[in-house]
A and B are shown apart, each in its own frame.
Chain A
């Protein structure tokens, strides 16, 4: 038993020491070339820009990816490095990832912060190293003046979502709210907007609120339990893709399709199908393609022309069964470089 522990300890120590040594070596090698890279390559030379979403794995971030790639293809000599952590909750992971890129010496970083306060120091570090920073979807707190934010105005959009829910329910009824993760700017802003919007409708009663942790299975579980506790609910608002998928699934399993109005954020394929077959009443669709597109363009502009770029509200569209097939809506839902919704 003692031997086992001793062996385990030695192994762990060796691994840790090995990792430290290699990262030290990396830093030493990179430091020598960092400043030269940044200075000599900006005007017309090769630009390496990291685009880092909150997490890899959601349809939403893939649109951002497409937008950034589209913008890069219209420029010359711009390489987009798409990288990210696995879970939107992995704040430390994102900090480490970006710090590594800063050390490597990239020209620009376009990223969505998993935590507004924690990532502020990373932005500062990058700015100190002469790396251009642009935020997409979620910014930092504080948001430096030199770092533009291309995002949806979540507060205003969530207020409109509350209006939409209220009009579907004719201002009366019990509702549930499924936010995703406390602490992220997008979550907190959407919550703030939605709850503010609800205040205008005293007939709407918020009876339950549970976090989905951005996991569809968790959303399914908590929505099921909410439906058990409050069988007379007539409306649900879910604040991001996994939440909508889980909530819609729970409503279907409870046999309450059509009896509960679901309004949700984002537009993954099953969410669209949900709108088509009546499970989901409306989707609040952002323009992640535009975030990636405008974000990357801004970074290149700032690097090559030393331009000052202002933040921008990339806007939302409400998608319902009625307008699903309009061409403008389709451009937002299925963006491509040929038909960019910008």
Chain B
């Protein structure tokens, strides 16, 4: 990262490029703020965890923790894809609809055409990828802004779900399909294993590959990134494809858990997922965010949902709590960014 920055200063030699050359101190501060953000979210997670352990006798049971993990996986996987998009200062409002589309098409493939369920899962995931590709092309080639693009896709995908299914839930999945969302290997839930693999891969991509570095670069300063010679169109499109693929795969897992393709699945999912990323330290202005942070955010939200039912709190109050937590997370984010600016000056 340091070397790339130096090279851009040599090549471009303009003031603009020099402004993006990060000193070692600045880089360390950015890593530091990432860690602080994660610590804050992790702190909240630990506090809620301890609170629930004391107030509900059944919270700390294996069964309950198993359930929480299985329940969170769908949102966490989508949130990982959303993290990439948010880091580029973009947004993907279509993930809920796309996950439903993938879930429904995947189930149709296995229920109506007799395709084996692993292939159908792959098919569903690819459907998500295609949606992501369309999003990406509209953002990069047609130069539409991500908010409007994905807002449109949200409608288009939901409409497609209804047209294709004839607006009815699809049943008739093979019994083994359930394993995807509900199975376990040696008492470890399969969705958790899947989540861990995806999270590790995503973290490696984000921190060790060019795609990851360019994600941060595009989000921090798109103009400078473009002037430095980064092929923004290509990488941004791949990022939206990634978000779509993960939304598609998550949609298949959700379908597996209820053994059916539900046309109404994923309504409102995008907001939960954005909340998870923001709580975990991603900034909607771009350039900031980590996979670990997002996972912490997703689990925090899941803990609140789970705790609320265990403690008999109703769903409306749950919504209020989660909304308040998002506010706190964003206020904290603003606060430390302002402090950062004052320190570096």
Contacts and interface: CB of A to CB of B under 8 A. Distances in A.
Query: Are the chains A and B members of one assembly?
Result: yes
Interface of A: 1, 4, 7-8, 11-12, 15, 55-59, 61-62, 86-87, 89, 182, 208-211, 213-217, 220-222, 224-226, 228-229, 231, 242, 245-246, 249, 253-254, 268-270, 273
Given A1-B285, A86-B162, A226-B309, A246 B258 contact: yes
Given A11-B144, A86-B158, A87-B264, 6 more contacts: A4-B89, A57-B165, A57-B263, A229-B58, A229-B312, A268-B171
B167 A228 contact: no
B115 interface: no
A7 B257 CA distance: 42
B258 to A, nearest CB: 4
A86 B258 contact: no
A215 B88 CA distance: 32
Contact of A217 (B56, B257, B314): B257
Contact of A270 (B74, B148, B171): B171
B309 A242 contact: no
B116 interface: no
Given A58-B169, A245-B260, A86 B67 contact: no
B58 A228 contact: yes
B6 interface: no
A211 B169 contact: no
Contacts of B312: 208, 229
Main secondary structure of the interface of A (DSSP, over half): helix
A242 B261 CA distance: 12
Contact of A62 (B168, B265, B310): B168
A214 B258 contact: no
A273 B316 CA distance: 33
A68 B206 CA distance: 54
Contact of A221 (B71, B162, B267): B71
A270 B172 CA distance: 8
Given A57-B162, A211-B314, A229 B147 contact: no
B315 interface: yes
Nearest to B162: A56
Contact of B262 (A8, A217, A221, A222): A217
Contacts of B38: none
B259 interface: yes
B82 interface: no
A210 B309 contact: yes
B264 A214 contact: yes
Contacts of A246: 258
B263 A86 contact: yes
Contact of A249 (B56, B257, B265): B257
A273 B172 CA distance: 10
Interface in B274-304: 285
29 contacts: A4-B89, A4-B145, A11-B145, A57-B262, A58-B168, A59-B169, A62-B168, A86-B162, A89-B267, A208-B309, A209-B314, A213-B315, A215-B262, A215-B267, A217-B257, A217-B265, A220-B257, A224-B67, A225-B309, A228-B63, A228-B67, A229-B312, A231-B58, A242-B262, A242-B264, A245-B260, A249-B259, A268-B169, A270-B171
